[in-house]
């Protein structure tokens, strides 16, 4: 498509956008009385208007039914989490029995590592990416320390080549071959939080399995954002937060995946709890743990229904739309934003560097932009003028045009504000 940097062209794209009506499903902050241009759905998604209805339903059932809400609420709390299985399975490319919701992201990754990181004297190394999100780095360090190992020996980081911003697939595969039979676990972010790079999860998983290692993925920036085929790719486990692209609210419940090939392995180590026990026998209060033969077998406690209600509101919206339509718009609007950035770069004779891959197969709806010659004052100008974006040191702004609520006109207007901000400095 031949893009144009005009308001009329952007409005034409919006008029043709089959998801445009969903913008009205969200509540937008305002700056100076004007609706913001929101680019931080990769940190916290906007609130869907329907969320209040889902939360109010739980509050009303609690008020009117008290403990009986577990079985007699409109959506009984006893099996509330099971409503997520089918829609989440479609979002992440899994079977309904392979997915669930519980806890928060890093908690779930720690719990899953109980099962899938079992180091031995000869097989103990973890491969991760350089500059993983700090929470993942802390998790790896504490896990290997818990097992009596030294992080500098057990943790192997795949590094970027000198002068490059992204990690090459061939370097990931080469590092797996180099570690070889000492490799116990590969655990990487499916989409790198800093650059927005999407990793080839299928190829990396196959490479890890070649050496008998488990392979898991942190999908914080991937779930609800890219096409996933967790079952087909034979991934062992994964977890993701729900508050970024799935708009469930700050710090909300995490989704998780355990491949069906592990469901019947009752000898697989795990931290067990009542809610992971065989559902049909749960209230017999048996002394010996009998795990559910599904991803539910990794649950520990009963679910926080008030936290799940906003997540269910968003998941239902995703089910209405489908990932195919979201990805189609994601590709178009991200490409249009990329075009706008290059056009403004030429107009102001600046030096932007988009460090996110230009290949659509290697990126999602985030563009990380290195603002050479510009300081944090430009970021502050954008924020004061109604562009909510994200600053990362040394001078990178992350822009996430989330397809479910971002418009093409937003991209055009952002370009105009960006140009004024640069010229005013």
Coil, helix or strand at residue 191:
strand
> What's the CA gap between 112 and 22, in Å, rounded?
35
> What's the CA gap between 413 and 36, in Å, rounded?
11
What does the pLDDT look like over 2-38, one tens digit per residue? 999 999 999 999 999 999 999 999 999 999 999 999 9
Could you tell me if 374 and 409 are in contact, meaning their C-beta atoms sit under 8 angstroms apart?
no
What does the pLDDT look like over 190-241, one tens digit per residue? 999 999 999 999 999 999 999 999 999 999 999 999 999 999 999 999 999 9
Q: Is the pLDDT of residue 261 over 80?
A: yes
Tell the residue number behind the tokens 């609130």, with chain if given. Answer: 47
DSSP sequence for 301-363:
S---HHHHHHHHHHHHHHHHH-HHHHHHHHHHHHHHHHHHHHHHHHHHT--EEE-S-SSGGGB
Per-residue burial over 310-344, b = 16 or more CB atoms within 10 Å of its CB, e = otherwise: bbbbbbebbeeeebebbbebbbbbbbbbbbbbebb
Coil, helix or strand at residue 26:
strand
Coil, helix or strand at residue 281:
helix
pLDDT at 425: 67
CATH number of 53-321: 3.40.640.10
How large is the average pLDDT for residues 178-183? 98
Per-residue burial over 245-273, b = 16 or more CB atoms within 10 Å of its CB, e = otherwise: bbbbbeebbbbbbbbeebbeeeebebebe
CATH number of 7-35+322-423: 3.90.1150.10
> Residue 375 — pLDDT band, cuts 50, 70, 90?
confident
What does the pLDDT look like over 314-332, one tens digit per residue? 999 999 999 999 999 999 9
Could you tell me if 341 and 370 are in contact, meaning their C-beta atoms sit under 8 angstroms apart?
no
What is the overall mean pLDDT for the chain? Answer: 95
Pairing state of beta strands 34-35 and 155-158?
unpaired
pLDDT at 71: 95
What does the pLDDT look like over 33-78, one tens digit per residue? 999 999 999 999 999 999 999 999 999 999 999 999 999 999 999 9
> What's the CA gap between 292 and 288, in Å, rounded?
13
What does the pLDDT look like over 275-311, one tens digit per residue? 899 988 888 888 999 999 999 999 999 999 999 999 9
pLDDT at 137: 93
What's the predicted TM-score (pTM) here? 0.95
Domain ranges of the chain: 7-35+322-423, 53-321
pLDDT at 316: 96
């Amino acid at each position: 498509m031949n893009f144009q940097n005009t308001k009329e062209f952007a409005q034409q794209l919006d008029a043709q956008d089959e998801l445009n009506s969903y913008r009205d499903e969200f509540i937008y902050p305002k700056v100076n009385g004007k609706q913001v241009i929101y680019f931080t759905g990769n940190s916290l998604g906007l609130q869907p208007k329907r969320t209040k209805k889902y939360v109010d339903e739980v509050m009303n059932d609690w008020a009117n039914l008290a403990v009986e809400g577990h079985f007699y609420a409109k959506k009984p709390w006893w099996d509330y989490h099971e409503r997520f299985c089918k829609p989440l399975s479609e979002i992440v490319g899994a079977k309904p029995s392979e997915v669930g919701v519980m806890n928060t992201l890093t908690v779930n990754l720690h719990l899953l590592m109980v099962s899938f990181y079992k180091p031995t004297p000869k097989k103990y190394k973890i491969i991760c990416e350089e500059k993983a999100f700090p929470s993942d780095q802390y998790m790896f360090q504490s896990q290997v320390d818990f097992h009596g190992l030294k992080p500098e020996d057990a943790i192997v980081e795949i590094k970027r080549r000198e002068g490059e911003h992204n990690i090459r697939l061939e370097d990931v595969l080469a590092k797996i071959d180099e570690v070889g039979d000492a490799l116990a676990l590969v655990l990487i972010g499916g989409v790198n939080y800093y650059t927005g790079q999407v990793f080839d999860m299928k190829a990396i998983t196959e490479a890890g399995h070649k050496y008998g290692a488990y392979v898991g993925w942190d999908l914080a920036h991937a779930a609800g954002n890219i096409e996933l085929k967790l079952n087909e790719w034979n991934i062992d486990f994964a977890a993701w937060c729900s508050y970024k692209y799935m708009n469930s609210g700050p710090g909300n419940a995490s989704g998780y995946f355990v491949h069906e090939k592990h469901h019947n392995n009752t000898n697989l180590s795990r931290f067990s709890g009542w809610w992971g026990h065989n559902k049909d026998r749960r209230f017999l209060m048996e002394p010996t743990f009998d795990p559910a033969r599904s991803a539910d077998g990794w649950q520990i406690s009963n679910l926080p229904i008030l936290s799940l209600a906003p997540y269910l509101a968003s998941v239902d919206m995703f089910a209405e739309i489908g990932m195919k339509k979201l990805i189609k718009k994601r590709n178009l609007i991200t490409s249009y934003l990329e075009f706008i950035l290059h056009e403004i770069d030429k107009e102001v004779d600046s030096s932007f560097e988009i460090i996110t891959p230009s290949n659509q197969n290697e990126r999602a709806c985030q563009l990380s932009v290195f603002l050479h010659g510009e300081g944090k004052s430009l970021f502050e100008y954008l924020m004061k003028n109604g562009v909510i974006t994200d600053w990362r040191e040394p001078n990178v702004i992350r822009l996430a045009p989330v397809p479910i609520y971002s418009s093409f006109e937003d991209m055009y207007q952002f370009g105009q504000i960006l140009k004024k901000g640069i010229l005013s400095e």
